[in-house]
Amino acid sequence: MEDIAVEIHVTRPDRFLAKLLLVGNPQPGQCIEVNGSLYRILERRHRYHLQKGKYRLHKAILSVQLLEENDLRLWQGRWVIGNPECKYNARSEIIRCAVNPEGSCNGCPYFEPIS
């Protein structure tokens, strides 16, 4: 596999985090460690340059979200963010919930158990 130049941007608040060379092709939903912190990849975009009559991948831009230590839980054989026992939880590895997407689930005023 070939190294890919990657720019990493954190969402909420929107800020530049790092510029790295990665081996492989990072996908949305995967986790990545940067400077000792764990981030979830939310979106991947590509930039191409025209070289010798062909478009070549120049760099990838990743939008990521910081994961808290207790955010990930194994639920029905897959990882989800937040508390999957809440009615509003998306049961997704990318999105926490509709009413409190920033989290945390601990002490959330919108928590309702699944009936």
d(CA 23, CA 87): 38
24 burial (CB, 10 Å; 0-12 / 13-18 / 19+) is: exposed
Q: Which two tokens stand for residue 11?
A: 């969402």
Quick check: 62 and 19 in contact, CB under 8 A? no
29: nearest Cα among 83, 84, 94: 94
Please, which residues bridge with residue 74 across strands? 79
Question: Which pLDDT tens digits describe the chain residue by residue (115 residues)?
Answer: 678 899 999 987 789 999 999 888 888 888 888 998 888 898 999 999 999 999 998 999 999 988 876 778 888 988 888 889 999 999 988 788 888 887 778 888 999 998 8
40 burial (CB, 10 Å; 0-12 / 13-18 / 19+) is: buried
pTM value > 0.75: no
